Structure 1
Amino acid sequence: MPFKSSLPDVPIPTEPYGERVLNALWKHSIEMPQKPALIDVNDYNKVVTFGELYAQSLSVSAYLDKIRFGHGDVACTVMQNCFEFFPVFVGVSLNGGATSLCSCQYTEYEIERQFKDCGCSIVFCTDGALKKVLKAARNCPNVKMIVVAPQGQDARTDLPFGVVHIRDVFSCQPNLYKRKISIDVSRDILILPYSSGTTGVPKGVMISHRNFGTMMNVYTSHYDSHIFPKLGKDFQSKDDVVLNIAPLYHVAGLSGFNAAILEGASTVIFPHFEPHSFCKAIQDFKVRFLRIVPPLIVLLAKSPIVDNYDLSSVIAVGTGAAPTGKELCEDLVKRHPNIKYITQGYGMTEVTTACHVPYISDSDSKFGNSGQLCPNMEMMIVDPTTKQEVALGEKGEIWVRGPLVMMGYLNRPQATAETVDDNGWLHTGDIGYTDKEGFIYVVDRLKELIKVKGLQVPPAELEDLLLSHPMIKDAAVVGVPNEKDGEHPVAFVVRLGEALTEREVKDFVKERVAKYKQLSGGVHFINEVPKSPSGKILRRYLKDEAILLTKAVTKSKI
C-alpha cells in the first residue's frame, strides 16, 4: 500500500498564481507600507517595499501587453539574484506567459540551447550575463527582445542597440482596467526551469500554476503551523527574515523567495554568496530559522570565519538538495549549541521543489532524515529491479504521486514517460527508506551507486564518514571502472591544512567500513568540491577527472 501523507491536506489552487501574489502584495502594502520586502545584503539602505513590487509587477505586465506578449508565450530570465527578478516573474505570469529560468553560470552555448528549446520571445538578464545572452540570441530567431537590469554602482548605462533598460519597463503606465486573461491553472505553464543536467542534457520541466500554487500552500501552511511556533511564543510568519542565498533560477530558490513574499516576510537578496556577508546578515537581522544547502552547514560547523560573528539567534536550520549526515549535524550543534533543531526536506525540480517537508523532532536520533511526505502526496518505496514495494525500513527507489508532480518535460514525451509512469508515479531515481514514524531517509542516487563486485556502495555514506574526520573540510566520492571488481571508490578531499596524507584518509575509512567500501580507487586532495548552485555534488565531472587520474597513475607504473 502506498504511503499517504499524515499531514493535513492543503487547498489545491483554482486561481492563477499571478493574481494570488498580486493580491498578497497589495495586502502587505496596505498593512505594512514602510516594511521592506527586499533588502540588498551589500547595502541595507537599498530596499524595495511591497507596494513598489506591486506597481513594478503591473508595469511589467503593461509593457508586455505593448509588445504583444501574452498567453502561452515564454520569457527567459538569465538573472543573478536581484530586486528586478520578482516583478518580471509576476508580470509574465499575469499575462499568461511562462518564465523559463536560465542559469547565469551557463556558457553562451548552454544559454543558446535553452533559448531554442524553450522558444522564448523575450529575455530578461542582468548586465553580467548580457554579453553571453547577446551572442546566444544571434542564432535564435525566436528571441525578439532583450531587457537588461544593470546591477551595482558600476552598472553600465550605454547599452547595445536594441537592448531595453529595465527602467523603461518599470516606467510603463499600468493598465488598471485590463481584462483578466483566461488561464488554465492545471495545464498552463507558470515556470519552466531546467533540470540540473547531472544525468543528461538539461530538460525543461513544465510546472503549472496548480503545481506551484500547491507548493506555496504547503510551505505557508506547514511553516505557520509547525516551524514558526518553535521559533518563539509570539513569532509570526511576517517576523521572519529570509536570506535569499539559493539562486532564483533554481526552483528551490524561487519557491522559498515566493513563500516569503506571500507571508509578508522581508527577504535579504544575495547577488552572490560570500561567507562574511552571510554570517553578518545572520547577526544583523537576528535570523532564527536558517534555510541553507549542506555546504553551508559544513561552513558553519568547520570554518573559522564564523567565530567573528554572533550567530546565537539561530534556533533552527532547514536544509535540502543533498543528504546531510548525522555526524555533520552533531558537529554543527556542538559548535552552535543555540541551534535546537536541524531539519531536512527532500525533493527535486520535477516535484516543484519538495515532496517531503522539514519536520522538527525533539529527538536527536532524527538527525539525518529528510522530513515527512508533503500534504496531498503519496509515496511508495520499491525494489529497483522488481518494481515491487519493499517492507517498512527496507531500502528502495522512492516514487511519489500527487499535485506537486510536474506536467512533464517540454517536448520530450519519451523522457517524461521514463520518469512519470501511466499511473502518475514519478520515479525519483533516489534510494531511501522510511521509519515507522514516516520520516524519509535518502541514502543515494540510484545511478550514483558504486558497484564493487556486485555490491552497492552509496557515495553519501562514505562522504558522511569522511566529513566526520576533524581534518577534512569537505569530500566527494565517485566510482571508477575496474576490470576485476567492476568499480572502485575514489575520494576527492578538501583538507584543513597540509598535514593530512592519503594513507591516513584510507586508514580512517578502512577502520570503519566493510572491505568492499574502502577507498581502493585512491584519495585525491583538491581545493574545492565542485557543486551545482543548489549544492549538489557534480559527480559526473569528478568521475571523469577520477578516470583520467587513474589512467595517469596506471601509465606511470608501467
Structure 2
Amino acid sequence: MEHLVEAINKIQIFHDLFLNALTLHGDNVAFIDAENEANTVTYSEVKSTALKVANFLLEEAGLKKQETVGLLMANCWEYVSIHVGTSLVGGIFTAISSHFTNFEISHQLRDSDTAVVFVDGIYLDKVLAVLPECPKIRKIVVLGEYSKNIKATVDILPWHFIGKFPSKVPKTPEIDVKDDICWLPYSSGTTGLPKGVMLTHKNYMDHFKAMLVRNVQSSKNIQLPPSEYMVCFLPIYHAMGYAGVIGSVIRGQTIVLMKKYSLEKLLHLVEKYKPSVMLAAPTIVQQITKNPLTKKYDLSSIRIIGSGGSKLDEGTMKKILKEFPNIEMVGQGYGMTEAVTMLSNTTGKKGDPLDCVGSPLPGVDIKIVDPDTNEFLPQGGIGEIRFKAPYTMKGYWKNPEATKACYDENGYFKTGDVGYLSNEGLLFIKDRIKELIKVKAFQVPPAELEAVLITHPLVADSAVIGIPDEVSGEVPKAFVVRSSKKLTEDEVVNFIAEKLSYYKHLKGGVEFVQEIPRTASGKIMRRYFRDREATRRKSKL
C-alpha cells in the first residue's frame, strides 16, 4: 500500500490516474455485468474505448477545452471510458441520475451547458423531451437500442459509431490542475435546485491521495485478505458509488456491476464472488439485518462494511456485528460533494465508539462553531461542523453568490450539519441545522427519533419532521413505513414515549406511508413531507 501511495503522489491529472491503472492491469477482467455474467470487459478494452471517446469528442463533436459532456445511464463500464475520454481532451464531465424526472434532467443539462450527451437507449426519450430547453447540446450518443426514425435538431449517433475512431492518445490541451474542472457533479438539492459543484483535477487528486493515506492508517488496524472482486450496486453517477469503482480500478480488482439494486441479487453475488469489503447506504445495511433472505446466503467473506450518505444508527451496527462475527468493522464516514466525497472516516481502531464518523482525513481541519456567534466551540461542544480542506470545491458552477455564502469570516466551509468533536478528535454527527425541530426551548434532531424508530421490529423505515403547534411552536411528526399492518399509530407513539424525553414525543402524530423518499446518497428528503404538510394546512384555511 505504501508503494502505491508513493507512485500516485506523482500523478497530478485525473485521467492520468486512470490511464496508468488501465495500462497496468491490461488483460485482467475489469467489469462483469451482474445481469449477464458472461459479459465481461478487460482493463485494456476500457482504456481503448476511453481513447476512442476522446478522439470522437475532438474530431466529430468538436469539443473545446472546458466544454461539458453529460451522461445519463444506469451503471455500466462505459461510464469510466466516457469520463476518462472527456478529461483527456480537457472537457468537463457531468453525470445525471437515471431516476431524475424530465424537469431535473433539463435543469442539469441546461445549467451545465452540456454540449454532448451520452445516454442509455431507455432514457433517450427523456433527453429528447427536454432538448428544446437545452440549446447548447449538439450531439447525442446512444448506448443500446433505440428507434432510428427519430427526428431531432441535433445529431443522434449509435454507440458503435465511437468504434471508428482510433484508440490512440489524442493531442491533448495543457491542463491547469488548479483551475480546470474535470468533474461537475450536482449537489443533492435538499435546499433549492441542485447546484453544479466544480471539482478540479487538483481537488480530485488531493482527495484521492488523502484517502490512500487513510487506507494505510486503517490497514494497521484491520488486515484484509486479498480480494479479486468488488460488488458494486450503488449508483456510480454519485460520488460514493464512483469512489468505490475508482478504488477498485486502481487496485486492479474485477468489479461486478449491478445496474439495478436487488437485495437477493446482491446476496447471491457476495456469496459467489466473495468480496472482503462492501460499500452500502444505511438503508441497505438495515435490510441485511432485518430481511430473512440474508440467512440463506454465505456472507462470510465480508470483513468491512463501509456505510455513508447518511448516518447509520448504532443499533443496526451492533446487530450486524453480533449476527456476522466475520465482520470486523462497520465503518462510517462524513463528507459531501463539495469536498469530493470524504472529510472523515473510521479506521477500525479498537475502542472507538460505533456512532462516530471517524477522525478528519489528512490535511482536513474541522471546527465546531456556534452558528449564531461564529465562535469556535471547545471539544464536546455541539454546534455547526465547518471545515477547511485542500480539496474543497472550486465553487458552485455559475453561482458566485452561493459560493461566497458557503464560507464564514474565517474561511471555513459551513456544512449546515450539527455535531461535535470528542477529546480524542473523533467526529460525531447530530443533525442538520435547518432540520432541527424547535419544541419550545428545546432542539430536537429528527435523526435521533428516526434512529430509535428503526429499532422497532415492525418499522422498516421512517422520517420525522416538525409541524407547527400553537403551544410548543413545533412538535415532531413521524412518517413510518411498516413491515406489518399489525403496527398501529398508538404503538409507534408509545414506543417513542417510553424511550425519549417528553419534548421528543410524537405529539404531531404518526402517518403510515409506502416509502421514504431519499436523495441518491441515501439522505432522507424531509422537505417532501414538510411541503406536503404545508399544502394540507393551506387547504384547510
2:241 maps to: 253
Within 5 Å, give how 1:255-404 maps onto structure 2.
Answer: 255-363=243-351, 366-404=353-391
Give the whole-Å Cα distance in 2 for the aligned partners of 1:274 and 1:470.
Answer: 22
**Residues 341, 361 of structure 1: 8 Å contact kept:** no
2:472 maps to: 485
Within 5 Å, give how 1:109-124 maps onto structure 2.
Answer: 109-124=103-118
Give the whole-Å Cα distance in 1 for the aligned partners of 2:75 and 2:409.
Answer: 38
Shift of 1:527: 2.3
**Residues 14, 185 of structure 1: 8 Å contact kept:** no
**Residues 490, 546 of structure 1: 8 Å contact kept:** no
Code of the aligned partner of 2:199: I
Code of the aligned partner of 2:281: V
Give the whole-Å Cα distance in 2 for the aligned partners of 1:79 and 1:422.
Answer: 41
Determine which of 404, 417, 421 is the counterpart of 1:430.
417
Give the whole-Å Cα distance in 1 for the aligned partners of 2:506 and 2:98.
Answer: 36
Shift of 1:86: 0.7
CA gap of 1:293–1:159, structure 2 versus 1, over 3 A, is: farther
Shift of 1:422: 5.7
Give the whole-Å Cα distance in 2 for the aligned partners of 1:182 and 1:454.
Answer: 57
Determine which of 198, 201, 207 is the counterpart of 1:215.
207
What's the CA shift string for 1:268-293, capped at 9, x where partnerless?
Answer: 21111111111111111112111101
Check if 1:185 corresponds to 2:177. yes
CA gap of 1:132–1:300, structure 2 versus 1, over 3 A, is: same
**Residues 10, 217 of structure 1: 8 Å contact kept:** no
Shift of 1:99: 0.3
**Residues 10, 218 of structure 1: 8 Å contact kept:** no
Gaps of 5+ in 2: none
1:5 maps to: none
Determine which of 398, 405, 409 is the counterpart of 1:411.
398
Shift of 1:100: 1.3
Determine which of 57, 68, 74 is the counterpart of 1:64.
57
Code of the aligned partner of 1:181: P
Shift of 1:228: 8.6
1:36 maps to: 29
What's the CA shift string for 1:517-544, capped at 9, x where partnerless?
Answer: 1101001112222112211111100222
Code of the aligned partner of 2:522: G
2:18 maps to: 21
CA gap of 1:141–1:551, structure 2 versus 1, over 3 A, is: closer
Within 5 Å, give how 1:25-104 maps onto structure 2.
Answer: 25-29=22-26, 33=27, 35-66=28-59, 67-104=61-98
Give the whole-Å Cα distance in 2 for the aligned partners of 1:262 and 1:170.
Answer: 25
Give the whole-Å Cα distance in 1 for the aligned partners of 2:64 and 2:324.
Answer: 50
The share of aligned pairs that are identical, in percent, is 34
**Residues 443, 458 of structure 1: 8 Å contact kept:** yes
Give the whole-Å Cα distance in 2 for the aligned partners of 1:399 and 1:518.
Answer: 30
What's the CA shift string for 1:385-442, capped at 9, x where partnerless?
Answer: 1111111111111111121211110111111011134643111100011112221111
**Residues 56, 165 of structure 2: 8 Å contact kept:** yes
Give the whole-Å Cα distance in 1 for the aligned partners of 2:282 and 2:189.
Answer: 20
**Residues 240, 308 of structure 2: 8 Å contact kept:** no
Give the number of aligned pairs.
533
Check if 1:460 corresponds to 2:450. no
Give the whole-Å Cα distance in 2 for the aligned partners of 1:136 and 1:312.
Answer: 47
Gaps of 5+ in 1: 1-7
**Residues 231, 315 of structure 1: 8 Å contact kept:** no
Shift of 1:229: 6.8
Shift of 1:255: 2.1
Shift of 1:321: 0.9
Partner of 1:299: helix, strand, or coil? helix
Shift of 1:482: 1.9
CA gap of 1:285–1:224, structure 2 versus 1, over 3 A, is: farther
Task: Indicate the RMSD between aligned Cα atoms, in angstroms.
Answer: 2.1
**Residues 58, 64 of structure 2: 8 Å contact kept:** yes
Partner of 1:138: helix, strand, or coil? helix
Partner of 2:56: helix, strand, or coil? helix
Shift of 1:156: 3.8
Shift of 1:104: 1.6
Give the whole-Å Cα distance in 1 for the aligned partners of 2:339 and 2:206.
Answer: 11
Check if 1:143 corresponds to 2:119. no
CA gap of 1:229–1:434, structure 2 versus 1, over 3 A, is: closer
